[in-house]
Structure 1
Amino acid sequence: MTKKTSEPVRLGGELISSQVVEQLLQELRSGAFQTAEHLPPELELASRLNVSRTVVRDALSELEREGYVERVRGIGTVINRDVVNLHRRMDQKFEFNRMIEATGHHPNSDDLRVTRRPADAENAAALDLVPNTPVVYICRRILADNKPVLFSTDILPCSLFGQTRMDSIDFSRPIFEILNEECGIQITSTVTHVRAAVGDPVVRRALALTRDQALLELSETCYSRLCRPIMRCRTFYTDFFDFALVRKLM
């Protein structure tokens, strides 16, 4: 299958620093730094990781922006252990299959519906499309083992898939993975609206909710590089999930 090439290639330095971020997070959680209060100096980290000091500095800047560390003159790079140990952060890109796996349960889907429809006015405006442009709706119920825990609807322009036949795509996979592998697109940012919701009868039945159970609704518009709107997502989460939000105040 030929991948689409509409997205620019990441720069080498950016890719390396991202890899260093992931490596340091792993070391902070379960490796050499899992009990440390501070990270070593930049030069020592650069030698340890076999990268330049510039790459280390960029990686530490990213870790600081995400709240994992604070760099304090005269003290060094202080680790926020509470933030490091968070695994379900609403302020970061997350994928619900991984969140379910992190709780020790097996994620699976037993109700997947993929339909092609003309975009209504709201979705066309959000995705910068002409009204009635063909879009694909991917609706799914996700379970943790045998327990229904969320119901999601993803809406994407059919044009993203080029000449690829829709019936040849395994839509049970995570949607970010599908976009990356089938369309050559990476989601880099989202605008998310969060609210408590009742959910319509179809969603409530699918999630086997009792009368007194509420839902958390996340409505998102997802963007690729150059601020291009790619997808809309509407997801209803049950109280199986416990989200955290890290806010940088300074």
Structure 2
Amino acid sequence: MSDIPKIDNEELSSKARKVMIAMLRDGAFDAKGRLPSEEVLAQKLGISRTVVRDVLAALESEGFITRRRGIGTIVNKHVLQIVSRLDLEKEFFEELADAGYMPSIAYVKPGRMRADQHAAKRLMINEGDELIVIERLMLADQRPAILCFDHIPKELVIDPTYQDKDLEPPVFQFLEQFCQRSVEMDLTKIEPCLADKNLAAIFQIPEGSPILHLDEVGYDLRQQPILLSKEYYAPGILEFTVLRRKV
């Protein structure tokens, strides 16, 4: 008999989270505006209360629900209606698809460069250190939408047998497979800028048009910076919202 792969709690939690968000957005709990107990949810979803508890904790941290002792778990409908949020990390394909577009990739261009002062400071490496760079242009309904430059310190690569084609999938896959690292959190600087000649040509907009620029550093579990991403968003395609909560 062939081996039956086990589904770990993390994978199960991810699937349960997607089901829960779909139910919340479809109005499954609109009648009361609150979720049933953990025990009832576990029975309905066919999972353990431990997994339910993990999913509810994630949904609360993301602002989709609010839990209060003596009141219960409240559904935050206004948050669920938001399509694009800057405070939640999504793959580009998912971000564009959720906004109602047909996403596709125009091109992926792997390359190399030496770290300039900015990259060296953000990645906490020496100026002049070698970087792997991936330039990626995403389309929304065939319109140029997102231009991203990912920078990975070459010294992080453990398996040097990679090929340029290995840099074509999402960069997180490359980090996990060839660097044995994973991004656990991001810190992002939001910087509006004006399209220069190159950006204007790529996005097919007038030179000097305002565009959104994100300068983002991804950190691993040991709090080491392992990824610098410079993202540019064409105007008029994605409308971002940030959820801010009282601390």
- Structure 1 and Structure 2 fold alike (TM over 0.5): yes
**Secondary structure, in 3 states, of the residue corresponding to 1:164?**
coil
**Whose RCO is larger (CA < 8 A, sep 6+)?**
1
1:70 and 1:77 in contact (8 A); partners too:
yes
Give unpaired runs (5+ residues) of structure 1.
1-11
Which of residues 178, 188, 191 in structure 2 aligns to 1:192?
188
Q: Mapping of 1:171-182 within 5 angstroms?
A: 171=168, 173-182=169-178
Alpha-carbon displacement from aligned partner over 1:51-93 (angstroms, at most 9, x marks no partner) = 4434333322222221111112332111011212323110011
Look up the match of 2:123. 127
What letter corresponds to residue 42 of structure 1 in structure 2? E
**Secondary structure, in 3 states, of the residue corresponding to 2:241?**
coil
Q: How many residues align?
A: 238
Is 2:245 aligned against 1:248?
yes
Greater alpha carbon shift after TM alignment, 210-219 vs 30-39: 30-39
Q: Mapping of 1:154-169 within 5 angstroms?
A: 154-161=150-157, 162-169=159-166
Alpha-carbon displacement from aligned partner over 1:22-74 (angstroms, at most 9, x marks no partner) = 33223222484476611101221222234443433332222222111111233
**Secondary structure, in 3 states, of the residue corresponding to 1:202?**
helix
Is 2:79 aligned against 1:83?
yes
Give unpaired runs (5+ residues) of structure 2.
1-7
Is 2:17 aligned against 1:21?
yes
**Secondary structure, in 3 states, of the residue corresponding to 1:241?**
coil
Q: Mapping of 1:61-76 within 5 angstroms?
A: 61-76=57-72
Alpha-carbon displacement from aligned partner over 1:154-200 (angstroms, at most 9, x marks no partner) = 111224442223324252x3323443455443221111011211032
2:189 and 2:215 in contact (8 A); partners too:
yes
- Report the aligned-residue RMSD: 2.5
Greater alpha carbon shift after TM alignment, 82-91 vs 228-237: 82-91
The percent identity for this pair of structures is: 30
Alpha-carbon displacement from aligned partner over 1:115-169 (angstroms, at most 9, x marks no partner) = 1122223322322323322211112222213211222211112244422233242
2:87 and 2:242 in contact (8 A); partners too:
yes
